[in-house]
Amino acid sequence: MPHPPRYVSRLLLLAMGVFSFASGAGTPPPRPWGPDAFLPVTEARIAALPAAEQPAWRAYWQASTSHTRPATKPTDPVENRDKPLVNHAPIPAVYSTRLKLNAPAAWYASAEARSLADNIALWQRPSGGWTKGGVYTRPPQSDDDHHDDWSSGTFDNDSTIYELRFLTLVITAGNAEPQAAAWRASFLRGLDYIFAAQYPNGGFPQIYPLVGGYHDAITFNDDAMVHILELLQDIADRNSGYAFVPADRAAIASERRARGVACVLATQLRGSDGRRTVWGQQHDALTLKPCAARNFEPASECSSESAGLVEFLLTIPHPSPEIIAAIDGAMAWFPTRAHRGVAWNRQATTGSGLVERSGAPDLWARFYEFDTGLPIFGERDRTIHYVVTELSGERRLGYGWYNSRAAALPARYAKWKTQLAK
């Protein structure tokens, strides 16, 4: 099927204002994804890189493939294209058991917290990371507990990062030897897992060792890479109790965090005028171009994850000119995509799904089309829609198609600009 003409220009969209968004008028028909929505890292693709880049990538590939790979590839119910579409409540996501990271400090010295830390160490995978869905109220009872599909270890849904931060809180809560020695060893194995997982260009896959598919993409989705870089920064600065990390590991964490920031800057998109804009939800590991992920997550300009990246960049002390330019570029983009005076009615089945609401915070679609700036919405059959109410009930109800995350950025940006000028 040919790509429909993109006859609605960005200028026209801005001129039409909120009325067009609220009415759903003037939008193109649905269209399919392109054939190369995402590409995994492969030996053949590495061999096509410039000669100077190949040694580092070959070493990375060999290290990844040296691990025992899972028997089956990771899947989600919503990725299954052969399953018929249904109109019912969303399919629940798989999360690791939520770990308390904001409890009173004394609680982390409790028997309950220490028992959780013991079990976290037992659930750690041979790679050094953690899988999704760990039940840390008990030890793993068999290898089936590790969910073969995700058994390599992952950063998805805060996995691995939550475990490492929880271990740190328990380690620093008080003397509990010899348990603390085991917790420290587990933490350092997890830190080494982060070092091993990082691509030569500074990005991070969703799963390591690599398993193929969109999981190999540089993953900004749900702030996965941001949370890794925040942890590396805390370790490098010995913040929040990370003084127990050996100096050599802290130095590596500092270098890896800098490498990650460089990747963030390198992946930032640019408009037709060459100006910096925002980021995709995930980017190809080798080309750094934005790419698709799950069947309903097309390659796009992504508002929520871009807001998270700006939030992170605003925390970097003594920002370089490149970081300043990245922040300025993104902050100029957000107002051009904002939907003002409206709110999203998730239950709506007709129209745009947006309703007028005075005083509502600015609203953004999660995904915007590259050339037109139009909001886009993905279905499980890999079709892209321009009206959210065209989606099946399962997808419409089961995903955050609109968000107000960037609404808090202008105040932080203004404060940052003031401090920068001092």
**8-state DSSP, 369:** -
pLDDT tens-digit map of 221-234: 999 999 999 999 99
Q: Point out the catalytic residue in the list 125, 294, 380, 395.
A: 294
Domain 67-75+89-267 of CATH type 1.50.10.20:
yes
Distance CA 22, CA 17 (A): 9
Distance CA 101, CA 184 (A): 17
For residues 275 and 332, is the Cβ–Cβ distance under 8 A? yes
Give residue 157's region: left, alpha or beta (phi > 0; psi -120 to 50).
Answer: left
Distance CA 388, CA 385 (A): 7
Distance CA 199, CA 282 (A): 14
Distance CA 67, CA 294 (A): 25
Q: Please give the full DSSP string across 189-209, using - where no structure is assigned.
A: HHHHHHHHHS-TTS---SBSS
**8-state DSSP, 363:** B
Those residues with Cβ within 8 angstroms of residue 200's Cβ, 6 or more apart along the chain or in another chain: 53, 56, 57, 60
- Catalytic residue list contains 80: no
The answer to whether the 1-32+275-422 and 67-75+89-267 domains have the same CATH topology is yes
pLDDT tens-digit map of 85-139: 333 333 333 445 568 888 899 999 999 999 999 999 999 999 999 988 788 888 9
Residue 422 pLDDT:
86
The whole model's pTM is what? 0.89
1-32+275-422: CATH topology: Glycosyltransferase (1.50.10)
- Taking the domains of the chain in order of start, what are their residue ranges? 1-32+275-422, 67-75+89-267
Show pLDDT as tens, one digit a residue, over the chain (422 residues): 333 333 333 334 433 333 344 345 567 899 998 766 889 999 999 999 999 999 999 999 999 999 866 555 665 544 444 444 333 333 333 445 568 888 899 999 999 999 999 999 999 999 999 988 788 888 987 655 555 455 689 999 899 999 999 999 999 998 788 889 999 999 999 999 999 999 999 999 999 999 999 999 999 999 999 999 999 999 999 887 999 999 999 999 999 999 999 999 999 999 989 999 999 999 999 999 999 999 999 999 999 999 999 999 999 999 999 999 999 999 999 999 999 999 999 999 999 999 999 999 999 999 999 989 999 999 999 999 999 999 999 999 999 999 999 999 999 999 999 999 88
Q: Point out the catalytic residue in the list 119, 157, 201, 221.
A: 157
